[in-house]
Structure formats: C-alpha cells, structure tokens
Amino acid sequence: PQTTLNAETNAVPPALAFTDTNEMIKDIQFDKDGNAYAITWGHGKNLYSFAPDGKLRFSLFLPEMGANRLQVAKDRVLVHTAAGARVYQVGLDGKPISQVRLNMDPGETWDDEYGLAWTDFEYLESRGWLLHKAVDTMRAVAADGAIAAQWRGEEFFDKDVADSVFHRELGPYALSPDGQRIAQVECSFYFSKNAYEDIKIYDAHLVIRDLTGKLLSEYKDLDNFRAEHGPGWPRVTWPQDASGPVAYTRGQRWIFDAGLQILERRPFATGYAVFDDERRLVRDGRTLHYYDTIDHLQCSIGPFAIMPTLTEMSTNHQLIATLDEYGFLRLFRTADGVQQASWQVPEL
C-alpha cells in the first residue's frame, strides 16, 4: 500500500458567497408548469418560488421558524412550520389561502428543553381536507379549520388486566386511488417477560375505513413484533391500479382485495433503500441493483469505492442520486444505470 500526505486544502465557499441566504434548504418541489418551490430551515423568509428560467416569483415569511414539510398540490402549496406546528396554504401565485394549527405548540417539552413539531398530515385534494395523524387519533380537518371527522383505533382488552380497555395505536396508512378510503396499520399490545424486565409486544392488524372513520374491513394478526428493537411497523401502500392495499412486512409482500381478503403473498427483499411502492435498491457487494417492480431488475449502478449513505429518486423516476460520507454526489439514469454527473458537495 502507498500512503500520501496531502498538505493542500480545498477552498469551501460559504453559502453567502453564492446566494443571498445561509438558511438550509429543506425541500424543493415543482408544479405542473415547472415552477420550483423551496422551503428553508431558519428565521426570516422560508418559502421561495422560482420560474423555470430561475427568476424569483415570490418569497414569503410563514411564522414562525423551521419550515420542515412541503407539499405542492394542483392549485396550492402547503408548508408546515416546526415552531408553531402550523400548516400554511398559499396559492401557486403566493397569495395566502389559510392556516391551521394541527399539533400542540410548543410540541414536547422535557427538562426545560423545547421540542419542535413534526406533524404527520396529508392534503386530500378530492375534498380539500387535511388528514392529520396525531399520537392516537386520526383527524380530518376541513378547509375552514373545523374537524370534519375524527376516530381512534379499535378497542381491545389488556391480556393481564381484563378490566382495562385500550385503543390500538395508529401506524402507517395509505389512501385508496379515489381518495375515499384509508388503509391503516393498527397495533394492539401486551407485555411479555424478558429476563428481569417486561417488554412491550405489538400485534399488528390492517384495517380499511371510510373518511368518517367507519370500519369497513379488517385483517387481524398481520404481524407480531417487539415495540423496541424490533423490525418496525409494517409498510402499507395502495397502488393506483389495485382494488385493495398492499402490505410489506418481515420480508413478504401481502396483496389484498377491497375486503382485505389475501390475493397473493410472496417474498419481498426490502433491500438497501426503498423509494416508493416497490422501487428499491438491492445491494450486491459494492453494486446496487435497481428494481422498478417486485422482481424486475431495471439496471445496476456502481461499483462504488465508498458505499453511499444517502440515496434519493427524482419525482419522475428517471434519476437516482447517491451521496457518500465524503460528500461525493452522483446522479444515475434509471433507464440504464449510466452515471450522468458527479461532484463534491461543499461542506456547510
């Protein structure tokens, strides 16, 4: 082996040298006309929009700080702020539409520390509602801020104390293609002995409800796992061309019909990274294989000298970006795995 001592240093230009802000960009999304929308983490203006030619269309300050969630719909932009737990809705032209607080403000507090909010919500374009998943409650918030519907997980009895009634904890969910039903994982629980301590065990169940919370179908005992240090909650999707949802758990894919009858159950390798539905990267040594369906290998990227720590896919599914621990960013075509570009990201 050969060792070389490099005394040279590389200049790292600060963010203010090439932009008018040193705020960290959290997310960038586009509308159907190619306009870009960016949110930033920090104080001051935190929503920016740029035309396809790069010219600034508008910039807004949405109180308070810490924009951490962006969703671009057909006719509006939704931005969530971590300090304040508010969801702001503005038109694609930047004109305000509404604002609503979903979570408590300030979020969690402990030992005099301040916990910022990360609100789990989805905009339902079919009704103009915000679907909000709180800790133990699903809530549909209408356009005027009123609660249109609200429900909790199904009741169950504790196995050790029969007179204790609990509600199942709420997990991942997916909306039906028509936006009128929701498939969700709900977990009942019990405690089991593990050496000198009791450990919490989850029983996962899959349910389908309408948007009033009415239970339409249920599949019990989808999975069983430890609450801590376990494999994690099952993942659920509802493909556009499917009559029912699809659940992924313990290396298997479960396909259900609209009544939660099992149509198919087969092995599914989660892989190195999962994008959306069944698109994923499966590692083979220092090469990553890209599957665009459960068993179709579209291309391979690599080999990598340093395996990437972050991977992301473009919204049109045409590019995969990888970033390694040394700041090297690479772009690959999903059609054939050819590398399109690579550069080292400046350290901020």
- Give DSSP secondary structure letters for 224-238: EEESSSSS-PPEEE-
Given pLDDT bands bounded at 50, 70 and 90, which one contains residue 25?
confident
169 vs 153: CA distance, rounded Å: 6
What's the average model confidence in pLDDT over 287-293?
Answer: 94
Residue 50 near residue 38, CB atoms below 8 Å: yes
Mean pLDDT (whole number) for 118-131: 90
Cα–Cα distance measured from residue 183 to residue 123, given in angstroms and rounded to the nearest whole number: 16
Residue with the bigger pLDDT between 15 and 167: it is 167
Segment 139-151 mean pLDDT: 91
pLDDT above 70: residue 238: yes
What is the average pLDDT across 298-312?
Answer: 94
Count of CB atoms within 10 A of residue 70's CB?
Answer: 17
Report pLDDT for 85: 83
Mean pLDDT of 102-131: 73
pTM score of the predicted model: 0.81
Distance CA(102)–CA(89), nearest Å, equals: 13
Q: Which of 193-202, 237-246, 272-281 has the lowest mean pLDDT?
A: 193-202
pLDDT of residue 104 exceeding 70: no
Position 230 pLDDT exceeds 80: no
Strand order in the sheet with 328-333: 310-313, 319-323, 328-333, 339-344
Dist CA 315 CA 226 (whole Å): 34
Q: What is the mean pLDDT of residues 78-91?
A: 91
Model confidence at 200: pLDDT above 50: yes
Average pLDDT, the chain: 87
3-state secondary structure of 16: helix
Q: Are 78 and 46 in contact (CB under 8 A)?
A: no
Average pLDDT in the 140-164 region?
Answer: 85
Task: Report in angstroms the alpha-carbon separations of 251 from 106, 136, 248, 268.
Answer: 39, 27, 7, 5
Mean pLDDT of 70-89: 92
| Residue 52: count of CB within 10 angstroms of its CB | 10
Q: What is the token pair recorded at 148?
A: 């249109």
pLDDT at 286 over 90: yes
